[in-house]
Amino acid sequence: MTICEILPATDAQDPALALLRAGQVIAIPTETVYGLAGDATNGVAVARIFEAKGRPRFNPLIAHVADMSMAESIGIFDPLSRKLAEAFWPGPLTLVVALRPDAGIHPLATAGLSTIALRMPRGFGAGLIAALGRPLAAPSANSSGKISATSAEAVRADLGEKIPLVVDAGSTPVGLESTILKVEDGGLRLLRPGGVPAEEIERVAGRPVDRHRRGNVESPGMLASHYAPGAAVRLCAGEVGPGEALLAFGPIRAKDADKALAILNLSDGGDLREAATNLFSYLKALDASGAKVIAVEPIPMQGLGEAINDRLSRAAAPRDMPLARS
Ligand code: TXA
Ligand code: MG
């Protein structure tokens, strides 16, 4: 069994670099969720990421870069992708672009695709990647199909026996994974709603985002049961049933809320940003209450609500389907 250390981000860069150079994988904070990071050019490191997560090998990883020149050495940017990168990087946006044949990314990381998902994160990861001088492959730091981790403790509870180091920078400020976009035939396709609301992207791009062709093989992690707590999840709940826990939102409560086994409110004031930050940790906490069902109050679809509802509907999806997870 691996001894997993948690180090504060302020002390962690050197030990993190030493482990990454040795082909190990470690958990690092990003502004979205914690990532399970390894050198994207090292096949052994990339294989360890899949192994630690229990992730199907056909599900490609995001390569995280420190700056635009690293990004351009890996992917081929069309003008619209470059415009979006300039507007939103560093930040919670992932762009799928054509992979340069000489990029040096290990083919395991891209699952053999001719495209690559690229993201420039904020915070500890940015400095780490710059110091390493190589891109980091990093999926969310959770076992495949489980809820993403928004704190170092949550990573250790899930993956602590499989990795040597978790770098701790506290709770992740966005709390949801990045938005994934692909420019296709001059149009913009949303592969996964996330930390940048689609409306903000439309404003910068000056054109609509196609939300209706996501969740196919190109983003296998987008299919069916995912982000699954142990309890069943019931959406758009207008009332709380016997033995249920309640995930609330805003000032107005569902009927019989006082009978819930446990209640957590994503945001008393109905603020979607605050709700996004709390979503995964509250789902975990309600799951730990022992309730068999987590009832969820309705959450509006605008702004970050689109990504919140996406994660909740995956958490509620049937669990017995043999589908891809990430
Ligand atoms: O915020 C985030 O994006 C976090 C942090 C750690 O960066 N990462 C993350 O990674 O959520 P992961 O692996 O859990 O989700 C990445 C998604 C998967 O659904 C994968 O299928 C998709 O990106 N993906 C990766 N490469 C792709 C590609 N070339 N084309 C389409 N989808 C791709
Ligand atoms: Mg994930």
CATH number, domain containing residue 25 = 3.90.870.10
* Tokens at 267, concatenated: 């945001």
* Closest residue by CA, ligand 1 atom 27: 117
Task: Please give the full DSSP string across 205-248, using - where no structure is assigned.
Answer: HTS-EE-SS-SSTTSGGGSSS-S--SSEEE-S-SB--TTEEEEE
Query: Do 141 and 274 fall into the same domain?
Result: no
Q: Which helix (H) or strand (E) holds 92?
A: none
190 lines ligand 1 (CB under 6 A): no
Query: Do 45 and 107 fall into the same domain?
Result: yes
* Tokens at 1, concatenated: 């069994």
Per the domain annotation, does 139 fall within a domain? yes
Site to probe by mutation for ligand 1, drawn from 136, 167, 326 as the one with most ligand atoms within 8 Å of Cβ, is: 326
Rounded (to 5) percent helix, strand, coil in the chain: 30, 20, 50
Query: Do 206 and 238 fall into the same domain?
Result: no
Our count of domains for the chain comes to: 2
Per-residue pLDDT of the chain (326 residues; tens, 9 = 90+): 678 999 999 999 999 999 999 999 999 999 999 999 999 999 999 999 999 999 998 999 999 999 999 999 999 999 999 999 999 999 999 999 999 999 999 999 999 999 999 999 999 999 999 999 999 999 999 999 899 999 999 999 999 999 999 999 999 999 999 999 999 988 999 999 999 999 999 999 999 999 987 654 455 555 556 677 889 999 999 999 999 999 999 999 999 999 999 999 999 999 999 999 999 999 999 999 999 999 999 999 999 999 999 999 999 988 755 444 44
Q: Which residue has the tokens 């990045």?
A: 178
Query: Do 138 and 265 fall into the same domain?
Result: no
Per the domain annotation, does 222 fall within a domain? no
Q: What is the CATH number of the domain that holds 240?
A: 3.40.50
Please report the beta strands in 12-131, taking only residues with DSSP state E, as ranges in sequence order.
26-28, 35-39, 62-64, 75-76, 93-99, 115-119
Query: Do 148 and 246 fall into the same domain?
Result: no
Per the domain annotation, does 13 fall within a domain? yes
* Closest residue by CA, ligand 1 atom 6: 35
Sort strands 115-119 and 93-99 into parallel, antiparallel or unpaired.
antiparallel
What pLDDT is stored for residue 21 in this prediction? 98
Per the domain annotation, does 227 fall within a domain? no
Site to probe by mutation for ligand 1, drawn from 219, 222, 227, 277 as the one with most ligand atoms within 8 Å of Cβ, is: 219
**Ligand 1 atom at shortest distance from the alpha carbon of 221:** 19
Residue 130, domain extent: 5-210
CA of 225 to the centre of ligand 2 (A): 12
Cα torsion through 127, 91, 153, 244, rounded to 10 = 180
98 lines ligand 1 (CB under 6 A): no
What pLDDT is stored for residue 134 in this prediction? 98
Q: 132 with 39: CB under 8 angstroms?
A: yes
Query: Do 159 and 285 fall into the same domain?
Result: no
Query: Do 76 and 205 fall into the same domain?
Result: yes
What pLDDT is stored for residue 1 in this prediction? 63
177 lines ligand 1 (CB under 6 A): yes
Domain final residue, candidates 176, 210, 244: 210
Query: Do 206 and 257 fall into the same domain?
Result: no
